[in-house]
Amino acid sequence: MSDGRRSIGNLPAVGEPRRLVRVSPFKAWLAAAGRFVLPPRCIVCEGPGSGSRELCDGCRRSLVTNVVSCSRCALPLPATTPLCGQCQTKPPPWHDVWVPFVYAWPLDALESRFKFSGSLAAGRVLATCWLSSGVPPVMPGLLVPVPLHVSRLRQRGYNQAQELARSLARHLGLPLAHDVLGRARATGAQTELDAAARATNVRAAFAVKRVPVQKHVAIVDDVMTTGATLAECARVLLAAGVARVDVWALARTPSPGQRGVSKVAGPLPSQGRRG
C-alpha cells in the first residue's frame, strides 16, 4: 500500500485526519516513478491499460452500470419501475441517491482488493470509474464519508469511503469533512447479516461530532448493501439539523434474486508490479 496514498489523497479536506499509514519517501518516490516510466497495466486482466489508467477498455466496459434501479434506494431492478417494494412501504430517510454501478464482477474483486488487501491501486481505479460514470443528480454543499471505527481504521490503515470521497470532492470542487460523523461504537461485520440484523447492528452506531454549516450534505460510501448504514448516518444528520441529506455510493448490491445476472467474482491476477 505504499504506492498510492498520494494519488487519491491530496485533496485539502476539512480537518485533515492523522495519517495512519506511514509511507517512506523513497518507496513513494519509487512507486510514482514506476507509474511515470512504465506503461500502465490493467490490474484486472494484466493487459495494457487505457491511457494513463490501470484498467483496460474491455474491463472498464465489463463493469455493470446501475441503469435500471429504484429511484429512492438505487436497488437494481429487473424492469423500469419507479420504486422497489421496500421503498413503497418504508422509504429511506435520505432525499436523493447516486449509485452508478452494480456490485458485480469485476468491481467486487477490485473492491475486495481495495478494502481487505490494502491495494490503493484498486482504489485509484475504482475512483476513476466513479468519476467517469457521470455527474450527481444534484450538487450538495458538502461531502461526508461514512466513518470507520478507530479500531478498524487502525487495522486497515485508511477509510475506503474517505479515499473515494476525496477523489469526488477534488473532481467536483466540493468541500469534504471527515469530522462531521463519528462512530459512537464499534459494530460487528455486516457481511453475514440479513437486512433486519444489519439495521439493528448499526442502530446508534453513529453520532454527529460537528454540525456542518452546509444545509445540504451527501454521505459517501463505497458499497451500499441494504442501505442500513447510510440510513443511520442520514438519520443522525437530519436530527442534528441538516436540511437535506443525499447518499452516494460507488456500487449497489443486487437483491439475492438478481445476483444470478452478475458474473461470479473470481480472483484477480496476483498483485501487479505497481500494486
Looking at beta carbons only, is 21 or 109 nearer to Zn ion? 109
Looking at beta carbons only, is 2 or 112 nearer to Zn ion? 112
64, 17, 13: which is closest to 159 by C-alpha? Answer: 17
Looking at beta carbons only, is 169 or 223 nearer to Zn ion? 223
Supply the minimum distance, in Å, between the C-beta of residue 72 and Zn ion: 5
Supply the minimum distance, in Å, between the C-beta of residue 200 and Zn ion: 20
Supply the minimum distance, in Å, between the C-beta of residue 81 and Zn ion: 9
Cβ atoms of 86 and 75 closer than 8 Å: yes
Supply the minimum distance, in Å, between the C-beta of residue 77 and Zn ion: 8
Q: CA Rg, the chain, in Å?
A: 18
Looking at beta carbons only, is 84 or 148 nearer to Zn ion? 84
Supply the minimum distance, in Å, between the C-beta of residue 73 and Zn ion: 3
User: How many C-beta atoms surround the C-beta of residue 13 within 10 A?
Assistant: 20
For 215-260, give the DSSP string. Answer: SEEEEEEEEESSSHHHHHHHHHHHHTT-SEEEEEEEEEPPPGGGGG
Which residues does 91 contact at the CB level (< 8 Å), separation at least 6? 72, 83
Residues in the site for Zn ion, rule: CB under 5 A? Answer: 42, 44-45, 47, 56, 59, 70, 72-73, 75, 84, 87
Distance CA 251, CA 203 (A): 22
Looking at beta carbons only, is 92 or 212 nearer to Zn ion? 92
